[in-house]
Amino acid sequence: MASGRFRKLVALFAALAIIASACGGGDGDSAATDDSGGSSAEDTSTGTDTGSEEEAEDIGADDSADGSEIESADAVTEIPVGGTLRFGMQTEAGSLNPTNTGLNRGPIMVATAIFDTLVVVDAEGQWHNNMTESWTPSDDFSSWDVKLRDGIEFSDGLPFNADAVIKTIEAFLADPLTSLVFKPAFDPENPIEKIDDMSFRINAMGPNAAMPLYFAEQLGMVGSPAWLDAAAENPELDQEPIGAGPFVLQERSQDSSTILVRNENWWRDDVEVYLDAIEFFPVPQPGTRANQLIVGDLDVIHGTASLMILPLRGADEDILRVEDNSGEEFFFAMNAQVAPFDDIRVRKAATHLFPKQDYEEFVNQGASLLADSLFSPESPWHDPSIQQEHDMPELAAPLIAEYCAEVPDSCTDGKVNMEYQYDTNLSNDTIFDLVSDAMSDHFNITVQSIPNDVHIQEVIFGQYNFASWRYHGFSDPDVDTAFLTCSTIGALSINWSRNCNEERDALIVAQRQTQDFDERYAIWQELQANLRDSYQYVLATHTNWTVGAGANVGGLCDAVSPEGASLPCQTRGVPRLDQVFLQN
């Protein structure tokens, strides 16, 4: 149970949270890069049903089976055109060039509006053509022939064609950061080749029936070739992206606001873009975001912290709230390449000491589902037998004593010396106080509270011991494997814990050799057990991405694919905004 010191802190924190607009808080998790996830493809033109999500048919329904809970006022019958939507984002981006940066959920929403994506994923987890016309796999799914949709132009007037797509993908694969994420999916010798002006072939690293899903988010954002060339020469142009999406950039002041206006020449002639403009504001404090939505200073917000979610749950019924627990995990990564967490005994001890019961009572408060593995209970890949050890301080003591006896240079006064790193905000401050309080009998903890962008950089470069983090949770777990394999550990690493495990790598290869779900599920049971037994993460929650919208906002759940498939109200905090409208 929590100590008296921590209970006093929580009482103060609760009082501060009441004054949300003044003090706010922070989402108690961080992310580096995000890519779309998905499942294998049986129908090569419309995608594959993962079985993990169900369509939310009615905006007023209590539950949608895509893992979302939806509450809303009555829908309107007339759709007005015009107005500027004000969106409060959880985080800002250092760059809006998807080929050279790790876009997290706020910036990826801005980028989606500017670029659009090659494919989209519906509310049932199926992929559908968007800017493509067809995807045809080889018999063993090791290559895919892709035909692009005719009649698309970039907002600068250049044609959208195979050359543009190939140029963009080659930029992804050449960049030191984005290549870490995407290279493992491609044949290193011949990743992509042109077939004709409107067709190209993707060559995979091996059989990969999930390949189209990789192009539903960042990798599926294609930039104007002229802009890509100019940005390569002048990095300042990374802030002035040119794509073929429903909106174009009008003005950007980093860390202040980004304004997009309607693209009058958007290629979708089957739907109308209703908004004149969208203004995105980075509002890192979740309590502030919630308060600004409730009082009408913002129209739409998103986030993951209880300080935002709980006020929205208690707000007026006119506030639309869409909750989704189906993707991403909040956890603590332990750097297995440097002392003290290069020793599994120390990683075990930290896991045993995690105060999950107090975390639920004082921090989470029912806002998100508690986690023991990478897959939420709503995922078809979830294995309820995987349980993480926590609240077991009696098991930690002998491990620490043994370690300090053998590695005295990493200990002081019988305690292990460690650094705890997180991005600066009030919510993460509270999590630090709770977790460090539980670990203090066995660890000498130095805190490093730093800005989000610096935090992301230091984790990727391995300059940390123990860090709060948020990632994983894709529809098809194969998309997660780049973050678990030995091959992505280097000077920069997206294997966040830098934990290399040859047995795990063999299982990753094995699960790609079959399209049979039951066979893959059995392999992923072994993979999840391997991750648990390596003690590389201390899992806390399955992130509840929540989107809130004021009573003046309509159409949040009305987006459809060009083929007429209903798209989810949001995907891990990112709603599509091309069908959103404002009403008086």
pLDDT recorded at residue 23: 29
Domain match, 298 and 342 both: no
Question: For the chain, how many helices (H) and strands (E)?
Answer: 15, 24
**Amino acid found at 65:** A
pLDDT recorded at residue 341: 98
pLDDT recorded at residue 328: 84
- Give the range of the structural domain holding residue 362, as residue numbers without chain letter: 4-30+329-542
pLDDT recorded at residue 77: 64
Reported as a single tens digit per residue, the pLDDT across 141-196 is 999 999 999 999 999 999 999 999 999 999 999 998 888 888 888 999 999 999 99
Residue 38 resides in a domain: no
Residue 477 resides in a domain: yes
pLDDT recorded at residue 482: 85
Domain match, 529 and 443 both: yes
pLDDT recorded at residue 441: 97
Domain match, 437 and 568 both: no
Which whole-number Å values give the CA distances from 381 to 212, 326, 475, 571, in the listed order? 19, 11, 9, 18
pLDDT recorded at residue 29: 39
CA 99 to CA 97: how far, in whole Å?
Answer: 6
> Which parts of the chain register pLDDT below 50?
1, 3-68, 72-75
pLDDT recorded at residue 572: 87
Residue 461 resides in a domain: yes
CATH code of the domain in which 366 resides: 3.10.105.10
Residue 53 resides in a domain: no
pLDDT recorded at residue 107: 85
Domain match, 492 and 576 both: no
CATH code of the domain in which 270 resides: 3.40.190.10
Domain match, 398 and 500 both: yes
Residue 235 resides in a domain: yes
Domain match, 264 and 411 both: no
Residue 36 resides in a domain: no
Reported as a single tens digit per residue, the pLDDT across 288-324 is 999 999 999 999 999 998 999 999 999 988 899 999 8
Contacts of 447-453 with CB under 8 Å at 24 or more apart are 447/419, 447/420, 447/421, 448/419, 448/420, 448/421, 448/422, 449/421, 449/422, 449/423, 449/424, 450/421, 450/422, 450/423, 450/424, 451/423, 451/424, 452/30, 452/91, 452/284, 452/423, 452/424, 453/94
pTM for the predicted model, two decimal places: 0.80
Domain match, 98 and 117 both: yes
Average pLDDT, the chain: 86
pLDDT recorded at residue 426: 66
pLDDT recorded at residue 10: 37
pLDDT recorded at residue 236: 95
